[in-house]
Amino acid sequence: MRLLPSLLLLAACSEAPPLRQPPAPSGSDASQSDPGFEQVQVGHERELRGIWLTTVWNIDFPTSSSMSQSAQREELLEILDTVQAAGFNAIFFQVRPEGDAVYASSIEPWSRFLSGTSGQDPGYDPLELILQEGHARNLEVHAWINPYRAKVTASLTMGAGHISVTHPEAVVTYGNNAWMDPGQEVVQDRLIDVIEDLVTRYDLDGIHFDDYFYPYPISGTPFPDSATYSAYQSGGGTLSLEDWRRDNVNIMVQRVHEVVRDLDPTVRFGISPFGIYRPGQPPGILGLDAYAALYADPVHWSEQGWVDYLAPQLYWPSTQTNQAFSPLIDWWSDLGDGRHHTFAGLYLSQLGETSAWTLDEFEIQTTLSAAHRSRGSKGNIWFSYRPIHTDRQEVRDFLATRIYPQPALTPAFGDRSSPVEPPRLVLEGATLSLDHDDPLRAFGIYAPTDAGWDLHQIVPASNHNLDLAPGRWAVTAVHRDGHESVGLVVEIE
């Protein structure tokens, strides 16, 4: 569970359009073009280095809904610069905190966390800005969506287009929140429409859900979906209430998987569930039963191949026996069984809150995560950006020097039927022009070592001209799906 405080890289970029270089004239430096380049096998240890950027309650961005458009833009660019400098390579940007939109949507109203008023246009599109500027900094951008939360304050009136306005019968009050009833078809259809719109109109790297499915239970207060369940039974449904609720969530996850895959198979779809699947799994682990309480079944999603990754929120220190990090990351890594990656969620917001939450503890957790790399544990996602914003305990330097000192691409997803073609290169003096016919994520620049080749630099796909220092370099093309070509060797005198 993402517990809130109140509740408990590397390469300059160019905006030049893609270049289609003609063959270079014979006898000049420019005669080095694709067919003449030596090919070498290169690669490096991939790792997802993600950060959750939270918009609900203005936790991370914008830090105030009263900020001007220009101030919000400036703050967002500062976030991207800081995240890049700390060594991250992916941002999980919360674009639908409460059935609204932190982007220009014709389906749902603008989020009140941008302006203070639901439905009020902030005058710019934060998602478009973070995509443009994030990609230029070698940061993947994943759209983080809350599938069912309608309002974090149930009494609020939302703007036109909000599901509480268009379909009030599909929204229920539970505690202080308003919740979309997962058993109602209109709720699922609305979510699919939102995702189709996002994937179609924006150059996203991923669609991401956190741990909120059916809400965390309130003792003594049942979730008010009896009318929906009765309608299901009247229609001939035979599942128990608990199995019916899980089935509602499973149907939603499958539909999202299918629509994302059909629209753009290079867009990843992943979920960050509560860190304990069921008490006793693995042995000795105690805590909330997410299978029974949230009706979330990541084991089933994994077995069905509906997710590209799971990011279990392992929000306990390694020393906390009943929720110890080591057996949990071991269990979750085994769950993938080659079907998907595991990116354990780390609770950075707890840094310094108790003696257990130290910088050393986070180094232990990243080391334990990496120890299961062969079984698919290939990175982490950190919650949230706020301690980095304030540079609590000099965490920025800690991340940049102790955790992420070397550049890395995120892991590739899926299988390929054919290798990625190498880039087309034209060398004129020390300036290298790069091009490719396929949609790319980046170009990789490798430097020779005694043992082979090490990744030296990641160049954004939008950068088609690069000045290289004297030496020998290998250049790769990184497809949008993350798979990488062989390296082409260039020599700069």
pLDDT of 220: 95
Residue of 369, 342, 357 lying closest to 273 (CA atoms): 342
CB atoms within 10 A of CB 45: 12
Question: 471: which strand partners?
Answer: 492
Joined tokens for residue 278: 């069921």
CATH of 11-41+416-492, one of 1.10.3210.10, 2.60.40.10, 2.60.120.10, 3.50.50.100: 2.60.40.10
Question: 491: which strand partners?
Answer: 472
Rounded mean pLDDT for each run of 10 residues along the chain, 493 residues in total: 36 30 33 68 97 98 97 98 98 98 98 98 98 98 98 97 98 98 98 98 98 96 98 98 98 98 97 98 97 98 97 97 97 92 98 98 98 96 98 98 98 91 94 95 97 96 95 97 97 92
Rounded-to-integer distance, Cα 487 and Cα 48, Å: 22
Joined tokens for residue 445: 């620049």
Rounded-to-integer distance, Cα 417 and Cα 426, Å: 28
Q: What is the 3-state secondary structure (H, E, C) of 307-324?
A: CCEECCECCCCCCCHHHC
HSE at residue 258, side-chain half, CA atoms within 13 A, is 9
Question: 178: which strand partners?
Answer: 151, 173
Q: What is the pTM of this model?
A: 0.92
Residue of 357, 373, 345 lying closest to 49 (CA atoms): 345
Residue boundaries of the structural domains of the chain? 11-41+416-492, 48-403
Q: How far is CA 238 from CA 55, 82, 243, in A?
A: 40, 53, 10
Residue of 427, 424, 475 lying closest to 19 (CA atoms): 424
Identify the DSSP state of 451.
T
Q: Residue 64: exposed, middle, or buried by beta-carbon count in 10 A (0-12, 13-18, 19+)?
A: exposed
Per residue in 75-104, pLDDT (tens digit) is 999 999 999 999 999 999 999 999 999 999
Question: 435: which strand partners?
Answer: 424
pLDDT of 414: 84
Question: 179: which strand partners?
Answer: 149, 172
| Helix axes of 185-201 and 241-263: crossing angle, nearest 10 degrees | 20
Residue of 457, 427, 436 lying closest to 445 (CA atoms): 457
What kind of architecture, by CATH, is found in domain 48-403? Answer: Alpha-Beta Barrel (3.20)
User: Cβ(131)–Cβ(141) under 8 Å?
Assistant: yes
Per residue in 103-142, pLDDT (tens digit) is 999 999 999 999 999 999 999 999 999 999 999 999 999 9
